[in-house]
Amino acid sequence: MIYLIAEQASFTGVVTRDRSQLDQDEELVVLSRSRLSVVTWRRSVEDAIAEWGQLLAYMPQVIRAVEVHGPRIILLPEPRLGPDNLEVADASARKRAGRLRTSYPEFTARSRDVMERYLAYRKRPDLHTLLNS
């Protein structure tokens, strides 16, 4: 009934936390005959802030996908940090130095020089000591 009312009211999409709706025959038949898109999560998200944040973050892509491909069921990925999302800053800086084809000591010295000059310009000697720790 929700999908029929949304279609009648000229909605273009519905966001639902209830992924199980898409496992029901009647809902799928209504969706297949409508112009509605349904946005939901591949796996349930139990944190409302993460859920809303993810929905807002993906919304431009969702809108673009519907504009390009037409009505769809869109399953947002699981909002989880995996090991491939974590980096050590020193390792990232070393990779960057490598991409710039410079040694790591030269890379850090050049960056430190830029930062020291900026801190002097801003008259922030208190931060200068933190830079050298």
Q: Is residue 81 a part of any domain in this protein?
A: no
| pTM score over 0.75 | no
Q: Is residue 59 a part of any domain in this protein?
A: yes
To the nearest 10°, report the CA torsion of 47, 50, 51, 54.
-170
Structural domains in the chain (count):
2
* pLDDT per position as a tens digit, 13-38: 999 988 888 889 999 999 999 999 99
Mark whether 30 and 93 lie in a shared domain.
no
* pLDDT per position as a tens digit, 83-119: 888 999 999 999 999 999 999 999 999 999 999 999 9
In DSSP terms, which residues pair with 39 in a beta bridge?
15, 74
Q: Which domain holds residue 65?
A: 2-76
Residue owning tokens 């900026």: 118
CA distances from 34 to 27, 29, 61, 67, 80 (A): 11, 9, 21, 15, 32
In DSSP terms, which residues pair with 37 in a beta bridge?
13
* pLDDT per position as a tens digit, 55-90: 999 999 999 999 999 999 999 998 788 888 899 999
Tokens of 53: 């944040």
